Structure 1
Amino acid sequence: MARLSMRSSDIKPSPVREMLNVSQRPGMISFAGGLPSPETFAGLDLPPPPRDLLQYGPTEGEPALRARIAEDLAALGLDTAPDRVMVLSGSQQGIDLAAKLVVDAGTTLAVESPAYLAALQVFRFYGARFEIIDRGAPGAGWADAPPSMAPPSMAYVIPTFQNPSGHCWTADERAAMAAACQAHEVILFEDDPYRDLVYEPCERRPVCAGLTSGSWIYQGSFSKTVAPGLRLGYLTASPDLFPLLVQLKQAADLHTNRLSQWMVLQYLNDPGRAARMDQVAALYRTKRDAFADALTRHLGNKASWALPPGGLFFWLTLADGVDVEALLKRCVERGVLFTPGSHFLAEGGASPTIRLNFSLAEPEAAERGLAVIGEALGEMARADERT
């Protein structure tokens, strides 16, 4: 056997990637991934890019793109500038860099539960332990904690159209989170990939904008608004953390794809950008509402859920006692895929919940897929009655 690191012994396959592999089967209706609709991909019919983009570039990203991103972030109330913006190879890289910066074996992180499963996977890989955030009272107990139970090193949150729940934090919840992190010197890591996919009025001011001191990281993505295949995200951070994150990226990939950066800059500078995003939001609102109607028809008496005000997901709670893994097996055999809610639990364990993506499947396919889930739940309930 090769002599591998102790960390490598705990590598687990990504549920996200495994689901995507299953979703490629012919005829499969997938509600599993957070895939945007191809209809929303930006039309990037562009002239040939400058040839100098084929050369190595700066680790932090292209100066013009960083300046453009900084302009948008400053408008949200964030304390940033072009020299504190870094372009990422997808926002997943930002999660990895933050974990490398903060997490040692046994480091405690504060997270939501449910939480973004790919972030949990990264944090676990580096040895993190989790403390669950109470949005109503974030930081409860941090002030009185004994030395052996110090406040967490970092809090990771998705306050706007949270993945997987779709919840949008209130202004009070955001203010309380910012105050708790600032008071107890906890790094606030805010992940904000869905903020532009808004369908109902909702507080969307970044939590990081409420900090007047302390350490923080704020990141976003172009995967949901331009095209995921470009693999482009960005982050900004407080002055104490930003140089360290740059050094970590230098060791990771030198710099992000310069052609993708050029393409996204053209999109950001397009005068029709705002109108295009209005069209994207309108399309997704229509898809969401059609999906909600189909849910009511096929699962109305078998599950509960809330209408998400933005983002790409419905979070369903099934009747207690439903074996979600058995349900998934039945559905996959009939060509329907979803993500069990247990994958999103920081504390682990079983859960009578599932996450359904509404953005990818066409309405007719969504109708058929939800009918399959409803039929499978009905069969399982009848089988339980007979036993």
Structure 2
Amino acid sequence: MPSSPQLSERISRLTSSLVREILAAAQAPGMISFAGGLPSAEAMPLLRDTPHSHDWLSPVFQQYGQSEGEPILRARLADWLAECGMQVSPHQTLVLSGSQQGIDLAAKLFVDPGTPLLCEAPTYLAALQAFQLFGANCLGLPLTNDGIDPELLAQIIETYQPRAIYLIPTFQNPSGHCYSAENRRAIAEVLDHYALPLIEDEPYRELMYDNVDRTPICSLLKRAPWIYLGSFSKTLWPGWRVGFLAASDDLFPHLLRLKQAGDLHTNRPGQIRVANWLACDERHKDLAHLRETYRKKRDAMNDALTNTFGDLADWEIPAGGLFFWLKLRNAIDTRPLLKIALENNVAFMPGEAFYPASGQPVFGTMRLNFSHANSTDMRKGLTTLARIIENNKPDV
């Protein structure tokens, strides 16, 4: 019998992605999926070439490219970020194979086995997967509608001496919360005081349906190092896998070398298509159409939830993003309900999976996506899901 190969010690920490596993199951015929953050095909823009567009099919762009990204895209990313309040040079931008790659690079940059790293509780599941793979001790900070508590943040920094903090301040995944302007400033002051590096993740920034403050915390920092992550997977086409980061000058060279060691460069034709879109006047109409489409879907989901979950759960109407975060009035573990739901052709994300392993288990939460299903399937799927929860209430 051949002996088992000896693998790295980190493989013992490697977990599968629950989101990806559910998405695979959600492809089954007849499945109504509220699980992943899948954009709606009807909301995605029809990309148009203009006389000023770069030819993305040119043989030049079929060869190897620069690890940093196409110069034309990096220049337009700097302009795009300036519209968000981020004053950065093109040389501070790095094009990624989706913003998930940026999380991976940040994990490689900051994390050794046992490294304390701060995050929200709950937080993005795939970020936990990446940080914990490299051995991070992820410490979760409770979320309110306004964000995390700056005073608690300072106390935790004093106590645990973390190496960095990972935040999703704008339409947070999974909760949908958007940090207030006052909270953003207060957090920036704390991070500057301790010179604690910030990893700020904003994949949902452009999906705004109500007027809220979206000032990047990175733009408020004066002393702390920072990494700002963005993506075009939610505004253009996710299959291209084009994301980006911008970073403070002290971190950028390390991130570039890590990308060089990882995938050499991001796909070049996709980069040129994104650069062309950023330069065209139609992008403002495209974004307006995207927001209006999702606003209607959000409102349809809220109406359907009111009719099906009104007596079972509490939730806030998200001002942006792609998700509702439900807190069940009976705090049951929703993970066992997933198998039952899938057997009834409904997929959802159990909320327990979004909490760091180092904290106390938090039961009775669910993340529901509203961008993918149509209104008829929404009502049907939520009715089924509500019935499953009713049938599995704990005995009082």
Q: TM-score, normalised by structure 2?
A: 0.93
After superposition, give the CA deviation of every residue in 1:333-386 in whole Å (9 maximum; x if it has no partner): 1100100000101126251000000000011011100000111122223x847x
Does residue 141 (structure 1) correspond to residue 155 (structure 2)? The answer is yes
After superposition, give the CA deviation of every residue in 1:227-267 in whole Å (9 maximum; x if it has no partner): 10000100000000001100000000001000110111121
Matches within 5 A, 1:206-285: 206-285=216-295
Uncovered stretches (5+) of structure 1, i.e. residues with no partner: none
The one-letter amino acid of 1:71's match is: D
The one-letter amino acid of 2:47's match is: L
1:380 counterpart residue number: 392
Identify the range of structure 1 (208-217 vs 325-334) with the bigger mean alpha-carbon deviation.
325-334
Q: Is the 8 A contact 1:161 1:194 kept in 2?
A: yes
Q: Percent identity?
A: 47
2:58 counterpart residue number: 50
Identify the range of structure 1 (10-19 vs 224-233) with the bigger mean alpha-carbon deviation.
10-19
1:64 counterpart residue number: 72
Aligned residue for 1:169, secondary structure, equals coil
The one-letter amino acid of 2:25's match is: V
The one-letter amino acid of 1:336's match is: V
2:33 counterpart residue number: 30
Question: Which of these residues, 1, 4, 9, is aligned with residue 7 of structure 2?
Answer: 4
C-alpha RMSD of matched pairs (Å): 1.5
Does residue 172 (structure 1) correspond to residue 182 (structure 2)? The answer is yes
After superposition, give the CA deviation of every residue in 1:292-312 in whole Å (9 maximum; x if it has no partner): 000000110011100000000
How much does 1:331 deviate?
A: 1.4
Q: Is the 8 A contact 2:56 2:273 kept in 1?
A: no
Distance 1:143 1:349, change over 3 A: closer
Q: Is the 8 A contact 1:42 1:267 kept in 2?
A: no
2:205 counterpart residue number: 195
Question: Which of these residues, 18, 34, 59, is aligned with residue 15 of structure 1?
Answer: 18
Aligned residue for 1:140, secondary structure, equals helix
CA distance in 1, matches of 2:205, 2:111: 27
CA distance in 2, matches of 1:348, 1:14: 21
The one-letter amino acid of 2:276's match is: Q
Aligned residue for 1:189, secondary structure, equals strand
Distance 1:332 1:71, change over 3 A: same
Q: Is the 8 A contact 1:157 1:191 kept in 2?
A: yes
1:362 counterpart residue number: 374
Matches within 5 A, 1:45-194: 45-46=48-49, 49-133=57-141, 135-137=148-150, 138-141=152-155, 144-145=158-159, 149-150=160-161, 152-194=162-204
Aligned residue for 1:165, secondary structure, equals coil
Q: Is the 8 A contact 2:194 2:224 kept in 1?
A: no
Q: Is the 8 A contact 1:31 1:338 kept in 2?
A: yes
After superposition, give the CA deviation of every residue in 1:157-187 in whole Å (9 maximum; x if it has no partner): 0000000000000011111111111111110
Distance 1:51 1:354, change over 3 A: same
Q: Is the 8 A contact 2:349 2:368 kept in 1?
A: yes
2:52 counterpart residue number: none
2:363 counterpart residue number: 351
CA distance in 1, matches of 2:108, 2:391: 46
- Counting matched residue pairs gives 380
CA distance in 2, matches of 1:11, 1:141: 30
Q: Is the 8 A contact 1:342 1:348 kept in 2?
A: no
How much does 1:323 deviate?
A: 3.6
Aligned residue for 1:331, secondary structure, equals helix
After superposition, give the CA deviation of every residue in 1:122-157 in whole Å (9 maximum; x if it has no partner): 000000012223512253315754xxx32x110100
CA distance in 1, matches of 2:24, 2:56: 33
The one-letter amino acid of 2:268's match is: R
Aligned residue for 1:92, secondary structure, equals helix
The one-letter amino acid of 2:74's match is: R
Q: Is the 8 A contact 2:131 2:138 kept in 1?
A: no
